[in-house]
Amino acid sequence: MEDFVQPPFLVIADTLFVLSCCMLFGRLRDFVCWLLNPFGQRKKGKEGYAHIRDPTEDFYLRRMYGRIVDCWNRPISSAPDAWFDVMDRKRIKEPSGQDVAEIVNTGTSTRCLNLASYNYLGFAASDPYCTPQVVDTIGQLGVSGCSPRVLGGTTVAHTELEDLVAQYLNVEAAITYGMGFATNSSTIPALVGKGCLILSDSLNHSSIVAGARQSGAKIKVFRHNDAKHLDALLRQSIADGQPRSHRPWKKVLVIVEGVYSMEGEACNLKDVVAVSKRHRAYIYLDEAHSIGALGGTGRGCCEHWGVDPRDIDIMMGTFTKSFGSCGGYIAGKKPVIDFLRRHSPAHLYACAMAPGCVKQVTAALQVVMGLDGTGRGAAKVQQLHDNANYTRARLLEMGLDALGSWDSPVMPIMTYSPAKMVALSRELLQRRMAMVIVGFPATPLLLTRSRICISAAHSREDLDWALEQLDELATLCNLRHGNTALKAHMEASLKDHIRRHFGEAAAAAATVAGLANGTFDPYSYRAGGGKKAVATVGGKGGKEVQEKDGRKHGHVASASGQQQQQQAAGSGPASPQAKRARKESSGNGSANGNGVAHVEPAAAAVSAPVVVAAANGVHHGGAITAEVEVQMSTGKAGSGKGGKAAAANGGHVRNGKASGVVANGNGFHRSSSPVANGRSDVKAYIRTEALVS
């Protein structure tokens, strides 16, 4: 999608001119200040010590970031529901010696529409099913375990959650961590190290970058969502081997994200899996933004694309987005998870996840899976998809450059110019809309954007009101760039999305304009016809929720193999009238009330998940069962129950060399890989060591 978001020439020229003026006048101001006070009044570092900040960074903070510091770090004073209270702040004159202007709270707050939080399924606010369980758990287990998991931090709540996560994802086991960032940064170094190769998407999150750098493995970056470039890098890297020695790589790990948070784009997972399996590379999938948000029942990117989760070696996700809590998880085969329990620093040394947070995730998962005995979870997932697709279609019809994949709750609006980005942020807050803006260095200098995060808690009235404001601001801030290429790409991707979920007939009728104005209803094309299940999510009016068999779900089922939606009462967003009153109030507006959720019975028989263990000791060509261990340090293969993992000729593998004939199954696998110089007859070798030992 990067090919469709190149800034217009006039925007480039204008931005460079403005930044040049800022730098020029900033330097002049520094020079004048030095003339008036040559000894300087800004605080200096310790005598004889090096400066903590280099001069360029210091200048950027004072003369550029200091001008727009009010657009970030805005505190809130209520739960991050569909509407929340944003603290009012004012900028005061900077005191003598201060680098950046100081922003202080005024003591008041403003009720704003929340388009900033990752509250995808609406669990961040008080919930009639989740909140009482959290309160009871805190009363029983306390606020914190005050200990790492291996010492005294593991409770019954932790083991219950890990079992439920494994069941939800249809994998063998899972392990939880107290922080999403640490889940990546501590797991990747535990899995790969020196002599290993990491292939990382160019737009992967900073936690992945940190973990990859800490691992000591060789890192190669492939173009964003480009499976062809990944394939080329894998072929070349396997053919060349390790730098200098050219020995085979011990392990190759491909790392991608389910949904990229700055683009809102879903991973091209099918092609990534196909390429990785062809080259016997392990796959690490970060589902921080996709778990709970993508797929017919919220099971993430695998369900969205119809990929078997057993093809993913490491499934990572967080609880901070869809489930209204904190922490993260790693899921996969039991030997891999057991290995992480012994070697992952975040599990061994960091404080365990707080019991109340654990119970919040457990209860939210039960709602999503239907284990609470209601259809609220299915209604939330469907509401999220409907809200996201409707909003994205409306933005595209306005002429805005709205990025992202269909069904994705993350949708950036490209502003390109930093000046427009700041103007939009301040205007949005004036109109009681809370949205995030993203600029340099998080994005390239000329690819700044404002990001909308959609929630199932948003009503259609909320979204219509927000879109009206954005339409006015698009004119005021000149955000319509006439990007016909992006519009055509989104039209094509919509048809592909509808085709995969609703069939050819629906895809033929699908248009962005029809989705935006309501003339195209994909559910009218669902297989078998039948009446839709109607759910009144809260407030006035109802929200149609598709029956479970209306979409072509993947490997999705409840624990019993049947998913039934029953009549139930639950909490939902407040009525549009109450929300409208809150828009006109200042901070202490109408509180959220409990709406009534009603779902007509619409049973849908879905085959139960089948978990196939690697009983034969083979996983992507390498032994990985609990009985078979491969010594990574020496390359020796130990015998295991039910078969031998050692080489067929009895030889051991040491330091990348094999004693005897090298063949499939003896610790190596081989494939023909043409190298860059055109020698197609070169045979490429790569170690098929187990992912863990």
Query: How far is 481 from 416, CA to CA, in rounded Å?
Result: 10
Secondary structure class of 364 (helix, strand, coil): helix
Instruction: Name the pLDDT band for 693 (thresholds 50, 70, 90).
Output: low
Q: Which of 369, 398, 428 is the last residue of a domain?
A: 369
Q: Which of 349, 369, 389 is the last residue of a domain?
A: 369
In a domain, 589, yes or no: no
**pLDDT value for 41:** 52
Query: How far is 262 from 442, CA to CA, in rounded Å?
Result: 9
In a domain, 202, yes or no: yes
Q: Which residue has the higher pLDDT, 570 or 477?
A: 477
Mean pLDDT computed over 571-597: 42
Quick: pLDDT tens for 42-61.
Answer: 556 677 788 777 777 778 88
Give the type of residue at 284. Y
**pLDDT value for 239:** 95
173: tokens are 């086991």
Whether 11 has a pLDDT exceeding 90, the answer reads no
Give 529-584 as a DSSP string. Answer: --PPEEE--SSSS-EEE--GGGS---S---TTSEE---------PPPHHHHHHHHH
Domain range for 671 is 613-693
Handedness of CA 557, 561, 567, 571 (dihedral sign): negative
**pLDDT value for 482:** 84
C-alpha distances in Å from residue 682, one per residue of 241, 560, 564, 664: 12, 52, 56, 17
Quick: pLDDT tens for 379-401.
Answer: 999 999 999 999 999 999 999 99
Mean pLDDT computed over 577-599: 42
**pLDDT value for 442:** 87
Can you tell me which residue has the tokens 């707050």? 109
Whether 680 has a pLDDT exceeding 50, the answer reads no
Query: How far is 319 from 322, CA to CA, in rounded Å?
Result: 6
332: tokens are 């996969």
Q: Which of 311, 335, 369 is the last residue of a domain?
A: 369
In a domain, 151, yes or no: yes
Question: What's the length of the chain?
Answer: 693
In a domain, 15, yes or no: no
Instruction: Name the pLDDT band for 670 (thresholds 50, 70, 90).
Output: very low
Query: How far is 139 from 302, CA to CA, in rounded Å?
Result: 37
Whether 678 has a pLDDT exceeding 70, the answer reads no
Q: DSSP secondary-structure letter at 598?
A: -
Measured in degrees and rounded to the nearest 5, phi and psi for residue 427 equal: -65, -40
- In degrees, rounded to 5, the angle at the alpha carbon of residue 445 between the alpha carbons of residues 442 and 446 is 125
Instruction: Name the pLDDT band for 658 (thresholds 50, 70, 90).
Output: very low
C-alpha dihedral, 193 to 290 to 453 to 449, nearest 10°: 50
Cis-peptide into 522, omega within 30 deg:
no
Q: What is the mean pLDDT of the chain?
A: 80
- The residue ranges of DSSP E strands in 293-447, in sequence order, are 314-318, 328-332, 410-416, 433-434, 436-438
In a domain, 306, yes or no: yes
Secondary structure class of 496 (helix, strand, coil): helix
Query: How far is 379 from 384, CA to CA, in rounded Å?
Result: 9
Q: Which segments of 314-353 does DSSP mark as H helices, in order? A: 334-343, 345-348
In a domain, 394, yes or no: no
Mean pLDDT computed over 299-306: 96
Whether 545 has a pLDDT exceeding 50, the answer reads no
Q: What does the H/E/C string look like for 501-515?
A: HHCHHHHHHCCHHHH
- In degrees, rounded to 5, the angle at the alpha carbon of residue 153 between the alpha carbons of residues 137 and 372 is 35
Mean pLDDT computed over 644-663: 37
Find the range with the poorest average confidence among 229-238, 524-533, 645-654: 645-654
Q: DSSP secondary-structure letter at 630?
A: B
Give 142-183 as a DSSP string. Answer: -S---SBIIIII--HHHHHHHHHHHHHHTSSEEEEES-HHHH
Mean pLDDT computed over 532-543: 38
User: For the chain, what is the domain count?
Assistant: 2
Instruction: Name the pLDDT band for 100 (thresholds 50, 70, 90).
Output: low
In a domain, 286, yes or no: yes
The string over 428-439, giving b where at least 16 C-beta atoms fall within 10 Å of a residue's C-beta and e elsewhere, is: bbebbbbbbbbb
Question: Tell me, what CATH number does 203's domain have?
Answer: 3.40.640.10
Whether 375 has a pLDDT exceeding 90, the answer reads yes
Quick: pLDDT tens for 328-354.
Answer: 999 999 999 999 999 999 999 999 999
First to last CA, the chain: 39
In a domain, 587, yes or no: no
Query: How far is 402 from 263, CA to CA, in rounded Å?
Result: 9
**pLDDT value for 589:** 40
Q: What percent of the chain has pLDDT over 70?
A: 74
